[in-house]
Structure 1
Amino acid sequence: MTEFVDGWILGHTLGEGAYGEVKLVVNKVTGEAVAMKMIDLEKHPDARQSVRKETTIHRMLSNSHIIQYFGQRSEPNMEYIFLEYASGGELFDRIEPDIGMPIWEAQKYFKQLISAVEYLHSRGVAHRDLKPENLLLDESDNLKVSDFGMATVYRLQGKERCLEKRCGTLPYVAPEVLNRPYYAEPADVWSCGIILVALLAGELPWDQSVVECREYMAWREGKYMSLTPWKKLDNLSIAILRKILAHVPSTRYTIEDIKQHRWFTKNCNRAGNSEMDDTVDGSNKKRVHTEDEENLTTLCMSQPELPGKENINSVRINFEERPGFSFSQPAHMEDLLLCTQLQATQYTQTSQNTFQKLVRRMTRFFVETDCEATVKRLLQYLENEKYTYRINDFGILLRLFYQVTITGTDRRKMPLVFKANMIEMDGKILVDFRLSKGCGLEFKRRFMKIKVGLDNIVLKGPITWPIAVNTKSMP
């Protein structure tokens, strides 16, 4: 662990992207945590403009379902963006591959997504890369839209422009985006529809929305009912999806249309009953202006000027101004490793309960074997399944004994990279998997297969909490 600036410790990687990493930064006294997006300009000199645009847009936004922006720090060859830390993990990790999730849960997250996108559009902002991997959850299970690297302003002072840039993730991209130009709002709505399919069915309907794709053409021509994922869905779900995933943007449902549809207004509960109710769980905050409108003119039609240099101390002031702001629960076990080192006291009962909930949700399991035997079994499985892998040994410094980087391809022949971390906790070995690159659903599908393949060493039965990370050898 290294001290980033006075009082703040740089922790482990939370995620990886095209231009850099997202790391945890923790206040070593209070335990407060933020996510720090690091962009290496030396490796990616073309990223400077993207950072300018992303931070300018993010400063405009203040909504309960959008990751909050705290500040920026600029150095000659590095940009740092400080963001709210969503301790509940990624939405895709809640989706059971090929099954989905209960309809009441899908409706909850979809309502919160629509709430966030409606707010973005009210500010004239298009996200342009909506997908489960960019939807995070806070400690209260509320959805947070993240990653505004592809976002843009499409409307300013009542004037709207068509967009030209072909961007996004192919299975979630609207058909008109592949042809260009296109209107921003229908394209974001389309992505929301694909996310809803993933939530309800645990799979994506097609690789991309083009005439060459058989599954997409079957949907367009109404010849889909015998095909997956549609045969898994009830009639009301299909009814709203037919309106959201309309090929022609001008006939596609608007957000207002979605909010009035019966699927959206009925109040589904855990028991499977429903009552008519159009209340959005975790509704929008009122629109908040964090920038003067005239300051956005340059951003709308071209790249903005770089904001003044900020430092982490200004971010800390933001922390102190936010009552009750504290992220004590990490979403990944390697983050717990950091927090355990920093905090001398034991977790409170609330923290233990939250951590126990997180463990049930994430892609991880305990094993009965020691670390070396666990790695051996994992590597045997990977070799049998023709995976490419690389082993890193961090045991001396972090007690994170091994990290295995696993590389493969998904169903669309696209790269899929994820990591398995072996961590000692009170004499037990935790195997913790984390996605690095690729489709979250496919990652979850692979994880489940690996877990089944290692079933004879997976620890069965309940775990006694709290379990502490072994930190005896930590610096």
Structure 2
Amino acid sequence: MEVQDGKQFLGNWMCIQTLGEGAYGEVKLLRHQRSGECLAVKIVDLRKQKDAEDCVHKEVRIQAALNHPNIIKYYGRKREVEQSLEYIYLEYAAGGELFNKIDPDHGMPYIEAQKYMKQLLSGVEYLHQKGIAHRDIKPENLLLDVHGNLKIIDFGMATIFRLKGRERLLDKKCGTMPYVAPEVLQKSYLAQPADIWSCGIVLITMVAGELPWSEPTSNCQEYKDWITDQYLLNTPWCKLNTTILSLARKILTAEPCSRPTPQQIGNHPWMLTTFTEHEATDVPDEPLYRNVLINHKDIEFPGVTLSQPVPCKSSKPVPENLSELLKSRETVCFSQPIQNDDLFISSQIQFTQTPLTQNDFQHLIRRMTRFFVKTSCEKTVEVLGSLLDRLHYTWNTDHYGVFTITTVDKRKMQLVFKANIINMDGKLLLDFRLAKGCGLEFKRRFIKIKKCLSDIILFNSA
């Protein structure tokens, strides 16, 4: 069953938009037409990968056992046997992905980075106490709720490393290369220090706006400089003060047993410092944050982790009736919640998230990677397509006029993002979202595209 944006999903639930996608399927935002309640549904096609069913079963078992304010809530699941689809219902994190708060090459204010690091460590410590390792901690897997609180998501790589007091070494080489601990690529490894390493990379990315290296191996000069103490004049380290550098040295040590615990990190002087809003990286006030639930794994090794991307098909014409298609799409209803009496998943599920109001939605709009344009639908398509050609991006469109744009990042990894033209109350909204690759690299491309399209952007754009 194809679930289309703007169409009925089931009962009184409407599919509003696609939030993310990956190897196993898509994540959609659902809104209850009567109550205004929102939730996310992860739709997994069990036929896409031979191990999909086992992976989903493991992921659901792990997530169903978790209950922590910094971990995304699991609400239930539903199997559609005939079409081999699995629906996993999750809390909707309305604040979007953490990486959208990281300004490329600048980072974010220390006061914010410290807050998110504390919340990340709280969630990770809880997982480790439950004997669970996440194994794919990165900004794209860290969401924010409507109040700006961090939520850990995507337990597709997670595993149990301790059961009934007995702990085991892990040997599966998985994760996202710039965030993965060096021992994961070499041998059997301890679960907890590997997650702590990834938290350290997230911290550096938050405060510096860039990754320290592409991979923690001797093949990477930046990593070699780090482990041989030849790094002080290099970025990102030259951007940081001595206190946070000392914390980085403690976390990002090649010896796993020497890495600190979440509690020890929390007691470090940098984590205990009371920052002001101005004691931080100077970050421009760029409204780039978007409304996304999930981004799937970049890599699982061994595999083609450093290969050139498979190019999209040649650009093809946009549907001639795109304007009519846009007009026919349902737009988001901003009504106040009434009641929630026909929830189609388990009746035992209790929603605690505050339903979105009109003011909430307007606030979110200003934080997405999207903007209103003053051109017609056809002209917008023409201008965007011409720009993508000039930038040497490979792109095509589907029968709904959604652009799929493919390029490579500076690590020669595939970067795929999508652009969708949405008719909203008579105005056209150009919405960009990451489909695959590095969030920071996506933001760099988005900022460049937005700047190049400045002539067609409405002054009151989100």
Task: Summarize the Cα distance change of 1:357–1:8 in structure 2 as closer, same or farther, 3 Å threshold.
Answer: closer
What CA deviation, in whole Å up to 9, does each residue of 1:19-53 have, x standing for no partner?
11111222222121211111111222321111111
Deviations 1:101-145 (A, max 9, x none): 111111111111111101111111100000011111100010100
User: Take 1:34 and 1:315, find their aligned partners in 2: how far apart are those partners?
Assistant: 14
Aligned to 1:407: 406
Matches within 5 A, 1:344-363: 351-363=357-369
Number of the residue aligned with 2:349: 318
AA matched with 1:417 = V
Choose which of 109, 127, 149 in structure 2 pairs with 1:120.
127
Match of 2:432 in 1: 433
Aligned partners of 1:6 and 1:366: how far apart in 2?
Answer: 32
- Aligned to 1:267, the other structure's residue is in SS state coil
Instruction: Output the amino acid matched with 1:201.
Output: A
Q: Deviations over 1:61-111 (max 9, x none)?
A: 000000001111123211111111111111111111111111111111111
Could you tell me which residue of structure 2 aligns to residue 75 of structure 1? 80
**Equivalent AA in structure 2 for residue 109 of structure 1:** Y
Name the CA distance, whole Å, in 2 between partners of 1:78 and 1:421. 25
Q: Is the alpha carbon distance of 1:357 and 1:12 closer, same or farther for their aligned partners in structure 2, counting shifts above 3 Å?
A: closer
Counterpart for residue 455 of structure 2? 456
TM-score using structure 1 length:
0.80
CA contact (8 A) 1:106 1:199 kept: yes
Q: Measure how far apart 1:314 and its partner are.
A: 4.4
CA separation in 2, counterparts of 1:415 and 1:117?
Answer: 29
Which whole-Å CA distance do the structure 2 matches of 1:265 and 1:156 have between them?
33
Give SS of 1:315's match. Answer: coil
Aligned to 1:371: 377
CA distance in 2, matches of 1:387, 1:198: 26
The one-letter amino acid of 1:132's match is: P
Aligned-residue RMSD, C-alpha: 1.8
1:250 pairs with 2:257? yes
Aligned 1:18-167 pairs, distance under 5 A: 18-76=23-81, 77-167=84-174
* Preserved contact between residue 393 and residue 403 of structure 1 (Cα < 8 Å): yes
Report if the CA contact (8 A) 2:20-2:27 is conserved: yes
Contact 1:130 1:188 in 2 (8 A): yes
Structure 1 residue 216, shift from structure 2 partner: 0.2
Secondary structure, aligned partner of 2:42: strand
Change (3 A) 1:426 1:4: closer
Structure with more of its chain in helix, by fraction? 1
8 Å contact from structure 2 (residues 78, 345) kept in 1: no
TM-score by length of 2: 0.82
SS of residue paired to 2:49? coil
User: For the residues of structure 2 that align with 1:449 and 1:162, how far apart are their CA atoms?
Assistant: 44
- 1:355 counterpart letter in structure 2: F
CA contact (8 A) 1:163 1:181 kept: yes
Equivalent residue of 1:361, what SS? coil
2 CA distance for matches of 1:177 and 1:246?
14
Inter-CA distance 314–424: structure 2 relative to 1 (3 Å threshold): closer
Q: CA deviation at 1:5?
A: 3.3
Which amino acid in the other structure matches residue 181 of structure 2? Answer: A
1:215 counterpart residue number: 222
**Of residues 354, 376, 386 in structure 1, which corresponds to 2:392?**
386
Counterpart amino acid of 1:374? T
Q: Do the aligned partners of 2:77 and 2:345 also contact (CA within 8 Å) in 1?
A: no
| Partner of residue 422, structure 1 | 421
Deviations 1:294-345 (A, max 9, x none): xxxxxxxxxxxxxxxxx974434413xx4x54442xxxxxxxxxxxxxxxxx
1:245 and 1:353 map into 2 onto residues whose CA distance is 42
Q: Secondary structure at the match of 1:38?
A: strand
Distance in 1 (alpha carbons) for counterparts of 2:110 and 2:119? 14
Query: Secondary structure of the equivalent of 1:419?
Result: strand
1:7 maps to what in 2?
Answer: 12
CA–CA distance in structure 2, aligned partners of residues 363 and 25 of structure 1: 20
Amino acid at match of 2:230: K
Instruction: Output the CA distance in 1 between the equivalents of 2:136 and 2:406.
Output: 24
The AA in structure 2 aligned to 1:212 is N
Structure 2, unmatched stretches of 5+, are: 1-5, 281-341
Decide whether the 8 Å contact of 2:193 with 2:256 is kept in 1: yes
For structure 1, the residue ranges without an aligned partner over 5 or more in a row are 274-310, 329-350, 395-401, 466-475
Contact 1:197 1:203 in 2 (8 A): yes
* Percent of residue pairs bearing the same amino acid type: 52
Q: Deviations over 1:191-212 (max 9, x none)?
A: 0000011101111010000011
CA contact (8 A) 1:73 1:312 kept: no
**Closer/same/farther in 2, CA of residues 451 and 259 from structure 1, 3 Å limit:** same
CA spacing shift, 1:105–1:132, aligned 2, 3 Å: same
Judge which range, 7-16 or 259-268, deviates more.
Answer: 7-16
- How far is the alpha carbon of 1:241 from its aligned partner? 0.6
Alignment length, in residue pairs? 394
